[in-house]
Amino acid sequence: MATAEEGSIVAIAAESREFAGLLAHASSVSRLDWGIDFARRAAIGGEPWILAANGPGPNLAAQAASAALRQARPRALLSTGFCGGLDPALAPGDVFVASRILAPSSSREFFPLPAPSARPHAAGNLISIDRVAVTSAERRTLSQSGGRAVDMEAAAVAGAAERYETPFYCIRVVSDTAGEEMPLDFNRYRDAAGRFSRGRIVAAALLRPASIPGLWRLDARCRRAAVNLGDFLADCRF
């Protein structure tokens, strides 16, 4: 039986704020009760979209993708949100379209479809791991594996698309660059499920006041990057 979500574009991110730029293009938005952190139905550019987020990392991303694919029969499944640069040529706010996804933990490779937009963007290999790449040294090591960018969810979403035989895209935006250090090691502040504990991050920042300017800069950069990503996705024709 057909559902209201049939033929939608389903986008999976880690956090709802990664959809902020795309939602600015929505003519209508409604909540979906799917048992995950964030699920919305939206009309964007005359197209039906489903936006889902459930936290960082492959396990939570797989839960979000499975929840969406149980409810919808999408014409496209999209892994989206922020990514870190491994190639020094990538700048904050650059849209990055993965042409290949490498998952070192499982030795899997996935090949997303090319971006359905003529807007300028970077492209290349994306490495998908279950941790934040905190230091420039870690990023250099990852780049030696052939990646231009790194994320935490794309491989899991690609695996779900494969299981459900759904066309798959991976379109992300650079939030942090190859040569920089994160203001905190965010990996230390994940809970048992893998979500970031904002309370623990705030407490850590208060104990390390020198990290606070870097956290503010990163937040501001993510806000601008989300706008760039949303403008790009709204222009896509899946």
Burial 60-74 (b: 16+ CB within 10 A, else e): bbbbbbbbbbebbeb
Q: Express as a percent the part of the chain with pLDDT over 70.
A: 98
Query: pLDDT by residue (tens digit) across 152-208?
Result: 999 999 999 999 999 999 999 999 999 999 999 999 999 999 999 999 999 999 999
CATH number of 9-235: 3.30.450.40, 3.30.930.10, 3.30.43.10, 3.40.50.1580?
3.40.50.1580
Q: What pLDDT shows up at residue 6?
A: 78
Q: What pLDDT shows up at residue 5?
A: 76
Q: What pLDDT shows up at residue 136?
A: 95
φ/ψ (deg, to 5) at 204: -65, -40
> Whole-angstrom Cα distance, residue 230 to residue 93?
11
Residue 177 contacts by C-beta under 8 Å, 6 or more apart in sequence?
A: 84, 85, 88, 90, 91, 92
What is the bridge-based pairing of β-strands 168-176 and 76-85? parallel
Contact 226, 11 (CB under 8 A): no
**Residue 207, SS3 per DSSP:** helix
> Whole-angstrom Cα distance, residue 112 to residue 148?
15
What is the bridge-based pairing of β-strands 47-53 and 149-151? unpaired
Q: What pLDDT shows up at residue 3?
A: 59
> Whole-angstrom Cα distance, residue 12 to residue 112?
14
Residue 187 contacts by C-beta under 8 Å, 6 or more apart in sequence?
A: 131, 132, 134
pLDDT mean by block of 10 residues, the chain; 238 residues: 74 98 98 96 96 97 95 94 98 98 93 95 98 96 95 98 96 96 96 94 95 96 98 96
| Cα–Cα nearest to 81, from 229, 180, 234 | 229
Domain ranges of the chain: 9-235
What does the radius of gyration of the chain's CA atoms come to, in whole angstroms?
A: 17
Q: Express as a percent the part of the chain with pLDDT over 90.
A: 94
User: For the whole model, what pTM was predicted?
Assistant: 0.95
What is the bridge-based pairing of β-strands 9-13 and 76-85? parallel
Angle (nearest 5°) at CA 61 between 91 and 178: 20
Q: How many residues does the chain have?
A: 238
The separation between the first and the last C-alpha atoms of the chain, rounded to the nearest angstrom, is 23
> Whole-angstrom Cα distance, residue 86 to residue 4?
40
> Whole-angstrom Cα distance, residue 127 to residue 177?
14
